Amino acid sequence: MISKEITIQNPTGLHTRPANDFISLANTFKCNITIGKNDKSANAKSIIKLLRIGISQHDVITLQTDGEDEEQAMQALTQFLAELKE
């Protein structure tokens, strides 16, 4: 399992459109992916569960990947979040 804290820089946070793109990317990996904020966590492959967390700009989230392609998933998803500008 890999775990990483990430601060969201996108001015609009992880709203519907970028969340959908994040989910699409997450679903290309076989490993389990979890995203958490404060005391909430969700399966990062579910748009409804992800949006319930309410991720805004400057929020610190915890991204966890666990499984056979966890390293590739972590790299791709952290890069996606770092480059997100919507």
**Catalytic status, residue 15:** yes
Q: Which residues contact 78 (CB under 8 A, 6 or more apart)?
A: 4, 6, 63
Between CA 85 and CA 43 the distance in angstroms is 23
Q: Domains in the chain, please, with CATH?
A: 2-83 (3.30.1340.10)
Mind spelling out the 3-state secondary structure of the chain? CEEEEEECCCCCCCCHHHHHHHHHHHCCCCCEEEEEECCEEEECCCHHHHHHHCCCCCCEEEEEEECCCHHHHHHHHHHHHHHCCC
Which candidate in 2, 6, 13, 15 is catalytic?
15
**Residues 1-21 pLDDT 10s:** 999 999 999 999 999 999 999
Q: Tell me the pLDDT of the chain (86 aa) as tens digits.
A: 999 999 999 999 999 999 999 999 999 999 999 999 999 999 999 999 999 999 999 999 999 999 999 999 999 999 999 998 86
